[in-house]
A and B are shown apart, each in its own frame.
Chain A
Amino acid sequence: MGKHMSRAAAPRLAIPAALFASCAAFAQTASHKPDTVWTDGYESPADGPRRDSDAARFLAQATFGPTTAEIARLRTLGYRAWLDQQFNEPVSTSEPYLDWVGNIPDNDVTDDTRLEIWAINAAALPDPSRGQQVPTDLLRQRVAFALSQIFVVSNANGTLNYQPWALASYQDMLATRAFGNFSDLLKAVTLHPAMGIYLNMLQNQKADDEQNIHPDENFAREVLQLFSVGLVRLNEDGTPQLVNGQLVPTYNQATVRGFAAVFTGWNWSNVGCGANTYTCCDEETYFWCGPGNRDEAPWQQPMQPVEAYHDTTTDKQLLNYATVSLPGGVLPHGGNATAELDAALANIVNHPNVGPFIARRLIQNLVTSNPSPAYVRRVAAAFANNGQGVRGDMKAVLRAVLLDAEARSGHLQRPETFGKLREPLLKLTHMWRAMDARAGNGRVGNLSTWPPLELRLGEAPLRSPTVFNFFKPDYSPPGEVRTAGMRAPEFQILSDSLAVSTPNRLFYELFCFYTGSDRCWDSDFADTLQMNLARDAPLAASNPGALLDRYNLLFLSGQMSPFMRATILTQLQQLTADDYGSALGRVRVQNALYLILNSPEYSVQK
């Protein structure tokens, strides 16, 4: 902006109000900033939470959304103890739910069935397949969702579209490994048959010159670019290294070919083969073995090698970096499939990029789109060494992500830029959790919609359109955000059509799906997840200001501005008992929630 324009800056805040909100009767002088929070300069942010709002804010980052009960629990335990407890909560799996549904007469298991159990575990609803057990692994499920956006597999694939067991198993693998070591996680990702199908490592074969066949490079390329080191060399703080002003590539095409040759000879697990429709995999059957039914074990078991198809004759160029243990990063030929795979994954995991790469991805998914380099460096350091000399300890990484001073108080230090756009799917889970949603039969039909969820919200679990996820970590929308040099990945799915369809989807949930409703054709289905709007209706009818204070805590972590509160309160007060009678409280709750969930202030998690 030129200097001549800055002189015109003074009146600019007054004019838009006059232009664009001229006939609104709202208090235009009310601040658009949250009220100032006074903090004791000596307190360590990681020792909290000292306020309910701090607890709610932490839970918005670490779970699928705060509830009143969880806020209280976190305040009792404190952040560290809460994390330690969460690290030990047993994993809530999804695969058994598919078996359970499959055993109900006249029930087909589809990929929408997988979304049901995803929602049950995300929103921590009683699981009918496990005797109404309520999931307690809030952090684990949230982190698994973050990991599913890094290590992407998707039903948007000719094969996986019809394999809910494989995808459920993949989800469960991520949840199970979320708090282990990164090495084990990466190996489990590599060998899961869903990944094998998705990025073509399953039945990959060594070069055959006569037939002009080369090893498939798909997994080799993406495991480097998207799952571990990325395209360019990074400093410890995640910023790119520059040599003579130029970015330095992490690897080249020879490296991709080297890894592609390593990842040859892998096929379905032979666990349980020979029986039923499942042909064992060996040299003879290499291209036509595998499970016949989609709920058979091999869809859920790590792939196994068939050595005859593994490349044992070429030296393989792997990643080359200062601290690499293989001379020149070259893996000499001759190893078997497993030995070479282990060596190649170790070559990746020990690359200095992995810490800052994964740190940045997790921070962006859970906390803020634009972490400071120092924040990334601190998390990367925890990746490099958990304090006991162990590299890749995910618990240490997650502690570093969530307890960092920037995570805990970045909204106070950088109130105009800190945070991230909430994902549409998390708005849904947040609403369900905060409003005690339950379905009559414990299942969740809400996500089995047409058009499919991913077209209405721009995303759905394990349904990314490509391996590059629903949105990319470096996406920046044109205009002010880009001009400011900021990233805002989630804006990539905020297209004009989704800017309408997502609010409309939330509208439908709010105005159709509440306890006792028969408003819409599917309001009272046994598997419709209905929110308990009656809980807050009396308060809404008698004291809408107090209702907004409650939702300010549950949804905005106490960050609702005076302007926003006044705006919504004015609207709620226009809804009167004369017009709505005994439904007044419920209608006010619906309007309050709609306006909050679609507001700019709530939509940016700060």
Chain B
Amino acid sequence: MNTRMNPNRRQFLRRSLALALGGVGLQTAFGNLNVLAAAANTRRYVFGDYKALVCVYLSGGNDSFNSIVPYSATQYAAYRQSRNGLVSSGGLALEQAAIQAQSLTALPASGGLPGGLPSDGGSYGLHPALAPLRSLFNTGKMAVVANVGTLLQPVTQAAYQAGNVPVPPQLFSHDDQSTYWQTSRPDDANADGWGGRIADLLYQSNAGLAPMSISLANENRYLRAAIVNPYAMDASGVDKMSYLGDGSESWIMGQNPGGAAAYNALIAEGTQAHVLEREYARAHSRAIDNYEIVSAALDSAPPLTTPFPDTSLGNQLRMVARLIGVRTALGMSRQVFYVSTGDYDTHDDQIDTQQSNLAELAQALAAFQAAMTELGTGPDVTTFTASDFGRSLAVNGDGTDHGWGGHHFVLGGAVRGARFYGRMPSLVQGTDANPNANPDDTGYGQIIPTTSVDQYAATLATWFGVSSGDIADIFPSLHRFDASNLRFLG
């Protein structure tokens, strides 16, 4: 016996209440039907199209200076020196010829817009493990955004060293910097994620009641929000509750009169006496409703034919592709997704570790783009990378330390691809005698970002349909930077 009401109906009630309360606990206004009616009638954003934004988070801080590498003579020489020589001689520098074999053929700037050849006049190629991305760049489906990092305002080497310009607290700390990347609010340690803040603004544009924010990598800061609860699901599919009779292992129990009714009564939302009990009940009740809505949609779609690598990231992006494939069944107009993979904190054994990390990344991203072609999403889906920080230019033996700025990839049909955006930093090594030999360096082998996460994120959010007024609210530091839109999206 199923005592639960239709999951869509419950989701509708949750959504309406959440909107009315701005994220305040639902139980405080349970049953206030006037509020429900009012909530249903206010819809600020309405879209006639579909867009999805996919965040690929490289957990631990990717060494982007060994991912996008110069092969032109001057830049390569600096790179090789600061990376303590070639891998074959105990350093971390990749072979020049191997980089050149993966050269990125950039288009010059055009139309008076940003983006074009690398700003330093050098030539760049990809880490050999990123080979599957090369054709995406060269055919205009991918762009490189150079030296992005957490900033409160522009910072020069002199200002950084003098300490007279505010910088994000706890630079070089994983936890803090990944938080700031995902919130774009280094001034507020408790801020929600910028993906979540976008979802709070746009979720009502979706006619369907499936969660707008979906994570394939558990709870994360990027999707944390005041109103929209991110749905964290498993890459392998939707698991249902055994005890309620619709799970793959329910047969073990057999008939169970009254069991589902009792369980549902215990987790009925808002009835418990203790704050944490109510939250527990809410989380379980919501999870069941979400899987019922999402699994019904997934079951309605033909399988994807595009093969994906059987890796953590491959499986996560495959599920994202499947969810995008049922966007119409789910009634979605805007969706934000989060996938993540780890082991990027390469203090040790960087050469082997990064090789496998980047191979996983490139193969999964290439498969995802192929799946988007299969689904015919055209310019509707944009994928971007993010990471805790770039790594130090300086090495620490067979690895690198925590850095600051780093390069990132943006992929999709809307990308003004085959271009570099922002400034390529110098890779010249500072020395004890002249620690400031590289003006882009903090003085300790960490590269100062020249593009802020705000600019990167605001460009994505603008493409996604967030109004300029709301952009300013979501990214309050954005006005301190010269460009609020980097124009890497059409």
Q: Which of A212, A492, A512 contacts B445 (CB 8 A)?
A: A212
Instruction: Give the B interface residue count (CB, 8 A).
Output: 114
The answer for the CA separation of A23 and B265 in the assembled complex, in Å, is 10
Looking at the complex, which of A163-171, A337-345, A594-602 is the stretch in contact with chain B? A594-602
Would you call B270 and A16 a contact (CB within 8 A)?
yes
Would you call B271 and A32 a contact (CB within 8 A)?
yes
Q: Which of B221-258 contact A (CB under 8 A)?
A: 224-227, 229, 231-234, 236, 239-243, 247, 249, 252-253, 255-258
Would you call A16 and B30 a contact (CB within 8 A)?
yes
User: Contacts A212-B84, A466-B174 known; A200 to B347 CB distance under 8 Å?
Assistant: yes
Would you call B25 and A12 a contact (CB within 8 A)?
no
The answer for the CA separation of A481 and B27 in the assembled complex, in Å, is 11
User: Contacts A12-B29, A253-B171, A466-B59 known; A158 to B283 CB distance under 8 Å?
Assistant: no
Question: What residues of A have a CB within 8 angstroms of the CB of B32 in the complex?
Answer: 5, 8, 12
Question: What residues of A have a CB within 8 angstroms of the CB of B273 in the complex?
Answer: 31-33, 415-416, 561
What is the CB-to-nearest-CB distance from B81 to chain A, in angstroms, rounded to a whole number? 8
The answer for the CA separation of A564 and B267 in the assembled complex, in Å, is 10
Q: Which residue of A lies closest to B2 (CB)?
A: A23
Would you call B266 and A600 a contact (CB within 8 A)?
yes
Would you call B399 and A216 a contact (CB within 8 A)?
yes
Q: Which of B29, B91, B269 contacts A20 (CB 8 A)?
A: B269
Question: What residues of B have a CB within 8 angstroms of the CB of A257 in the complex?
Answer: 444
What is the CB-to-nearest-CB distance from B245 to chain A, in angstroms, rounded to a whole number? 11
Would you call B24 and A507 a contact (CB within 8 A)?
no
User: Contacts A496-B291, A567-B262 known; A212 to B394 CB distance under 8 Å?
Assistant: yes
Q: Which of A209, A486, A606 contacts B431 (CB 8 A)?
A: A209
User: Contacts A209-B432, A504-B249 known; A217 to B282 CB distance under 8 Å?
Assistant: no
B-facing mask of A402-439, CB < 8 A → 1, else 0? 00000000000001110111000000000000000000
Would you call B281 and A214 a contact (CB within 8 A)?
no
Question: What residues of B have a CB within 8 angstroms of the CB of A494 in the complex?
Answer: 280, 283
The answer for the CA separation of A72 and B263 in the assembled complex, in Å, is 32
A15 close to B (CB within 8 Å): yes
A511 close to B (CB within 8 Å): yes
B465 close to A (CB within 8 Å): no
A26 close to B (CB within 8 Å): yes
The answer for the CA separation of A599 and B241 in the assembled complex, in Å, is 14
Would you call B281 and A225 a contact (CB within 8 A)?
no
Question: What residues of B have a CB within 8 angstroms of the CB of A24 in the complex?
Answer: 3, 261-262, 264-265
Q: Which one of A9, A20, A507 has the highest number of Cβ atoms from chain B below 10 Å of its Cβ?
A: A20
A205 close to B (CB within 8 Å): yes
The answer for the CA separation of A419 and B276 in the assembled complex, in Å, is 8
Q: Which residue of A lies closest to B279 (CB)?
A: A481
Would you call B241 and A503 a contact (CB within 8 A)?
yes
A-facing mask of B1-42, CB < 8 A → 1, else 0? 101110000100100000001011111111110110000000
Question: What residues of B have a CB within 8 angstroms of the CB of A15 in the complex?
Answer: 30-31
Would you call B219 and A492 a contact (CB within 8 A)?
yes
B397 close to A (CB within 8 Å): yes
Q: Which of B30, B275, B397 contacts A486 (CB 8 A)?
A: B275
Would you call B242 and A503 a contact (CB within 8 A)?
yes
A491 close to B (CB within 8 Å): yes
What is the CB-to-nearest-CB distance from B9 to chain A, in angstroms, rounded to a whole number? 9
A468 close to B (CB within 8 Å): yes
What is the CB-to-nearest-CB distance from A88 to chain B, in angstroms, rounded to a whole number? 35
Would you call B401 and A598 a contact (CB within 8 A)?
no
Q: Which one of A1, A287, A479 has the highest number of Cβ atoms from chain B below 10 Å of its Cβ?
A: A479
Q: Which of A70-91 contact B (CB under 8 A)?
A: none
Would you call A493 and B3 a contact (CB within 8 A)?
no
What is the CB-to-nearest-CB distance from A141 to chain B, in angstroms, rounded to a whole number? 25
What is the CB-to-nearest-CB distance from A403 to chain B, in angstroms, rounded to a whole number? 24
Question: What residues of B have a CB within 8 angstroms of the CB of A215 in the complex?
Answer: 396
The answer for the CA separation of A466 and B27 in the assembled complex, in Å, is 34
Q: Which residue of B lies closest to A6 (CB)?
A: B28
Question: What residues of A have a CB within 8 angstroms of the CB of B399 in the complex?
Answer: 200, 216
What is the CB-to-nearest-CB distance from B357 to chain A, in angstroms, rounded to a whole number? 11
A532 close to B (CB within 8 Å): no
What is the CB-to-nearest-CB distance from B236 to chain A, in angstroms, rounded to a whole number? 8
Q: Which one of B32, B192, B242, B275 has the highest number of Cβ atoms from chain A below 10 Å of its Cβ?
A: B275
B-facing mask of A565-587, CB < 8 A → 1, else 0? 00110110011000100000000
What is the CB-to-nearest-CB distance from B302 to chain A, in angstroms, rounded to a whole number? 24
Q: Which of B175, B224, B272 contacts A600 (CB 8 A)?
A: B272
B306 close to A (CB within 8 Å): no
Q: Which residue of B lies closest to A156 (CB)?
A: B342
Would you call A416 and B275 a contact (CB within 8 A)?
yes
User: Contacts A213-B395, A497-B233 known; A603 to B239 CB distance under 8 Å?
Assistant: no
Q: Which of A450-483 contact B (CB under 8 A)?
A: 451, 458, 465-468, 472, 477-483
B284 close to A (CB within 8 Å): yes
A604 close to B (CB within 8 Å): yes
User: Contacts A1-B24, A231-B170, A478-B224 known; A214 to B291 CB distance under 8 Å?
Assistant: no
User: Contacts A480-B27, A480-B278 known; A504 to B247 CB distance under 8 Å?
Assistant: yes
B470 close to A (CB within 8 Å): no
User: Contacts A20-B5, A253-B171, A483-B25 known; A571 to B252 CB distance under 8 Å?
Assistant: no
Would you call B192 and A478 a contact (CB within 8 A)?
yes
B429 close to A (CB within 8 Å): yes
The answer for the CA separation of A255 and B57 in the assembled complex, in Å, is 29
The answer for the CA separation of A491 and B284 in the assembled complex, in Å, is 11
Taking beta carbons and an 8 Å cutoff, which residues of A are in contact with B? 1, 5, 8-9, 11-17, 19-26, 31-33, 156, 158, 200, 203-205, 209, 211-218, 221, 225, 231, 249, 253, 256-257, 287, 369, 415-417, 419-421, 451, 458, 465-468, 472, 477-484, 486, 488, 491-501, 503-504, 507-508, 511-512, 519-520, 561, 563-564, 567-568, 570-571, 574-575, 579, 590-591, 594-595, 598-601, 603-604, 606
Across chains A and B, which 3 residue pairs bring their CB atoms closest together, nearest first?
A480-B25, A15-B31, A495-B232
Taking beta carbons and an 8 Å cutoff, which residues of B are in contact with A? 1, 3-5, 10, 13, 21, 23-32, 34-35, 59-60, 81-85, 91, 169-176, 192, 215, 218-219, 224-227, 229, 231-234, 236, 239-243, 247, 249, 252-253, 255-259, 261-284, 286-288, 290-291, 342-343, 345, 347-349, 353, 392-399, 401-402, 429, 431-432, 444-445
- Pick 16 A–B contacts, CB within 8 A, sort by A: A12-B31, A158-B353, A212-B84, A213-B395, A214-B444, A256-B172, A417-B275, A478-B224, A496-B287, A507-B253, A520-B252, A561-B273, A563-B271, A567-B262, A598-B243, A604-B274
Given contacts A217-B172, A497-B234, 4 further A-B contacts (CB under 8 A): A420-B276, A500-B288, A591-B256, A604-B280
